[in-house]
Structure 1
Amino acid sequence: MQPSTSPKPNLAPTPIVAAKKFRLSHRVAAFHWVAPEPTKHPVLLLHGFATSSAMNWVMTGWINPLLEAGHSVLAFDLPGHGDSGTPEDLEPYNRHALIGYINQLITTVGANKVHILGYSFGSRLGWQYCVEHPERVVSLGLGGTSPKDRLAMMRLDQVDAYLEDQSPITDPLTKSLMTIAETDPSKLAARLKLIRAAQRWPYDPETDVPDVPIVAVTGEKDQIAQDSPVMIEIAAANGHPNEFHWVPGRDHINVTSSRLFKDKIIEFFRRHDGRQK
């Protein structure tokens, strides 16, 4: 969730099947890639703040390996992100709405249970969904995750002053997140609504632990998520065979294109796919 000088990953090959595109509530854009030979539960991908399904997952090469492993793939763009609309009200950005989009997407494609893979803010959303709806989830993958809620730590008073009269933002985290939010000025207001909604949504992973197997993968150079192993320590309370993996040489921006990241997640999903059908 911060600017990086790391080289941008090369564009990934076009997915072997085209996505079926449709709309969920509040003009949220959803995508469904159907595996040529589906043998496993679908995988639902949840992107991070100020990115999109295309940026986080398609361009970094996730779709084809998942399809080839027998998973159909689901994804949607958060409100104010990617191909989704930019609702004016706060309600479409709140916790209940985001959880609702996931339920609506799973139901629309007729899935029984799914694996979930979230990145950064998507990890937070995936964790919360699994807390509320473990019956719909086979296993959970977390990328670039942290027990700290960085969107909740953003100083919106400084953001408001900056937008009003260009007052400097002095808090480093807030300045970093604001730089990212401004990468698409047409969606800045919507992205700030997502942050405002997140700050009204208490996130305390130590209090609520999902009752599903969990794997977390983080880049060794990720300065945002160096505390991500704590999430697996917390998850030990669920009694499942949870796992944590570092990806050498990668940071918060470029870890998603790593083949090791993909291999660890896909292998974990494979081992847990035999749970309740």
Structure 2
Amino acid sequence: MQTFSHDGFEIAYLDRPPVSGSGDPVLMIHGFASSHYVNWVAPGWFKTLNDAGYRAIALDNRGHGVSTKSYDAEDYTPARMASDSAALLDHLGIERAHVMGYSMGARLSAVLALSDPGKVATLVLGGLGIGMVDGVGDWDPIADALTADDAGTITHDRGKMFRAFADQTRSDRRALAACITTSRALLSEDEVARIAQPTLIAVGTRDDIAGSPDELAALMPNAAVFHIEGRDHMLSVGDRSFKQRVLQFYADHPL
């Protein structure tokens, strides 16, 4: 991975062109407690995109992976986190890109489309539907679960799930606890309605976190929905049918 400096953080990223050496760029933004590797390399997204002729790019969000950590919640507002992705495109000299985000990364992608619309040619919002607007439940216990000294004392089901995920990915749990405090700020219906880019919203049919993708799409002027059959929030990101649908979406909307 390479790094660049922005807003006091060293942001790590992976930039992999296709074998042909050129191709439309796709910037991928991972979810909470994840990393570029967990969301995009291990599930095969880099290979899928490169094999299809696309330039695959992904960063480790601040507080995640090998990027700089902060324990100040104000460093993790969606606007500040999305600005890292905008700065990465500038750093790479990319004027416009396809942008794909999963879960928290979907929220950051939507914020990027609003703050820097000229940089975002299309959007893929994975693992987040109307929860982007009306919330995805009570996440305060997740911060408590992340900072608990003994994981065995955690009783909140979603807290257990994210604590186990954070431990599996060897994340800085204190940084994640700061991140979860502010990164889940909601977008308004009016903000979502201003996202004019062609958008694909993809959510697993067993996902109990994201909220309805159809309700989110109904607020947007140019959005389509893909239901990832039989997948929950954790397993949807690597689903083969999801990859196939994204490739078709990009073929329909070239830069």
8 Å contact from structure 1 (residues 38, 71) kept in 2: no
Question: Which one of the candidate residues 140, 159, 162 is aligned to 1:155?
Answer: 140
Question: Which one of the candidate residues 58, 63, 66 is aligned to 1:83?
Answer: 66
For residues 137 and 172 of structure 1, do their structure 2 counterparts lie closer, same or farther at Cα, with a shift above 3 Å needed?
same
8 Å contact from structure 1 (residues 181, 192) kept in 2: no
For residues 165 and 79 of structure 1, do their structure 2 counterparts lie closer, same or farther at Cα, with a shift above 3 Å needed?
same
Higher share in strand: 2
Gaps of 5+ in 2: none
* 1:247 corresponds to 2:232: no
Distance 2:142 2:234 in 1: 27
Aligned to 1:264: 245
For residues 73 and 223 of structure 1, do their structure 2 counterparts lie closer, same or farther at Cα, with a shift above 3 Å needed?
same
8 Å contact from structure 1 (residues 147, 205) kept in 2: no
Question: Which one of the candidate residues 175, 198, 206 is aligned to 1:213?
Answer: 198
* 1:123 corresponds to 2:69: no
Gaps of 5+ in 1: 1-19
Distance 1:157 1:269 in 2: 35
User: Which of structure 1's runs of 4+ aligned residues deviate more than 3 A?
Assistant: 88-92, 149-153, 162-186
Could you say which structure has the larger radius of gyration?
Answer: 1
Given residue 214 of structure 2, which amino acid in structure 1 is its aligned partner? Answer: P
How big is the alpha-carbon RMSD for the aligned residues of Structure 1 and Structure 2? 2.9
For residues 205 and 269 of structure 1, do their structure 2 counterparts lie closer, same or farther at Cα, with a shift above 3 Å needed?
farther
Aligned to 1:8: none
Distance 1:219 1:165 in 2: 31
- Relative to the length of structure 2, the TM-score reads 0.85
Aligned to 1:57: 40
Greater mean alpha carbon deviation, residues 31-40 or residues 178-187: 178-187
For residues 155 and 176 of structure 1, do their structure 2 counterparts lie closer, same or farther at Cα, with a shift above 3 Å needed?
same
Distance 1:179 1:157 in 2: 11
For residues 154 and 55 of structure 1, do their structure 2 counterparts lie closer, same or farther at Cα, with a shift above 3 Å needed?
same
Aligned to 1:230: 215
User: 1:117: how far off?
Assistant: 0.7
8 Å contact from structure 2 (residues 148, 154) kept in 1: no
Greater mean alpha carbon deviation, residues 26-35 or residues 163-172: 163-172
User: 1:225: how far off?
Assistant: 2.7
Aligned to 1:7: none
8 Å contact from structure 1 (residues 151, 198) kept in 2: no
User: 1:247: how far off?
Assistant: 2.0
Once the two structures are superposed, residues 111-162 of structure 1 have per-residue CA deviations (whole angstroms, 9 ceiling, x without a partner) of 11011111111111111111221111110001111322557832269829x7
* 1:95 corresponds to 2:88: no
Aligned to 2:28: 45
Give secondary structure in 1 for the equivalent of 2:122. Answer: strand
Distance 1:143 1:154 in 2: 19
Given residue 128 of structure 2, which amino acid in structure 1 is its aligned partner? Answer: T
For residues 171 and 215 of structure 1, do their structure 2 counterparts lie closer, same or farther at Cα, with a shift above 3 Å needed?
same
For residues 74 and 152 of structure 1, do their structure 2 counterparts lie closer, same or farther at Cα, with a shift above 3 Å needed?
farther
User: 1:257: how far off?
Assistant: 1.9
